[in-house]
Amino acid sequence: MDNKSWVTKLIIVINVFVFLSWNFLDNQTNVNSWMFRHFLVSWDGLMQGRVWTLITSVFSHNSLIHLFFNMYVLFNFGPIIETVLGTKSFIKFYLMAGLVSSLTHVCVSAFLLEKPGLPALGASGSISGIILIFSLLFPRQILLLFGLIPIRALYGALIFVGLDLWGLIMQSEGGGLPIGHGAHLGGALFGTYYYLKNKSLVRRGLDEARK
């Protein structure tokens, strides 16, 4: 990560701070209930007026493994996309991808899964958007799927989208894992939309980054 990628670094710091708030302040200040109200997003929460959770939940993790995995992926892919898009555009993209992923989650949970109180948190939606832009910019780049299997970036992204679609179908049938597949798909959809809508600008940013 180079010195120009300060936004990615700041996002990681904020996520770590929120994680610490979840795990180390609750016993002293009863902040856990406050965190629940302000850093989890759900349809019920939105109906109660907590619209800010559409964004705050994107910076929220209460599990170490969840935090580590998301920040590891962000640490590796974030600086590349930040360099290509530029600082201001990257901030807007990251927040919009998070917002869309949160909206997708609440709509899926309320209308498909019929669980309007189902909460979600995590940066996975924004990171899904980053991965999709990366895979469209560098479709032939070899990545390690699950850290083990070498695969081209575009194929890897398609596999993850397929797994999230399958997982969402399983959840709609009453099974599946407690994973925010709707949020992942929302972020991936936004990443694809952003790339296609701004393809010339993104490509120009890539050319300038290579100079």
Amino acid in the structure at residue 81: I
Whole-prediction pTM: 0.92
At 145 the three-state DSSP class reads strand
From 86, 128, 91, 107, select the one nearest 42 (Cα to Cα).
107
Query: For residue 76, what pLDDT is reported?
Result: 94
pLDDT of residue 130: 97
Q: Which two tokens stand for residue 49?
A: 């007026």
For residue 41, give the nearest of 96, 118, 126 by alpha carbon: 118
The CATH number for 23's domain is 1.20.1540.10
- 104 within some domain: yes
pLDDT at 2: 55
124 is catalytic: yes
Q: List CB contacts of 92: < 8 A, sequence separation 6 or more.
A: none
Asked if the structure places residue 130 within a domain, the reply is yes
DSSP class of residue 108?
I
State how far the Cα of 199 lies from the Cα of 195, in Å rounded to an integer: 5
**Domain for residue 1, yes or no?**
no
AA identity, residue 140: R
Q: What tokens appear for 72 in the block? A: 């590891």
Largest distance between two CA atoms of the chain? 52
Q: Mark whether 102 is an active-site residue.
A: no
Regions of the chain short of the pLDDT cut 70: 1-4, 26-32, 146, 209-211
Give me the amino acid identity at 74: L
Number of domains within the chain: 1
Q: What is the DSSP letter of 140?
A: T
Structural domain span for residue 118? 6-210
Distance from the Cα of residue 6 to its chain's centroid: 18
Q: pLDDT tens across 15-70, in order?
A: 999 999 988 875 545 555 888 899 999 999 999 999 999 999 999 998 999 999 99
Residue 120 lies in a domain: yes
Residues 6+ positions from 56 with CB-CB distance below 8 Å: 38, 39, 41
Cα–Cα dist 188/153, whole Å: 14
Marked catalytic residue, from 21, 60, 109, 124: 124
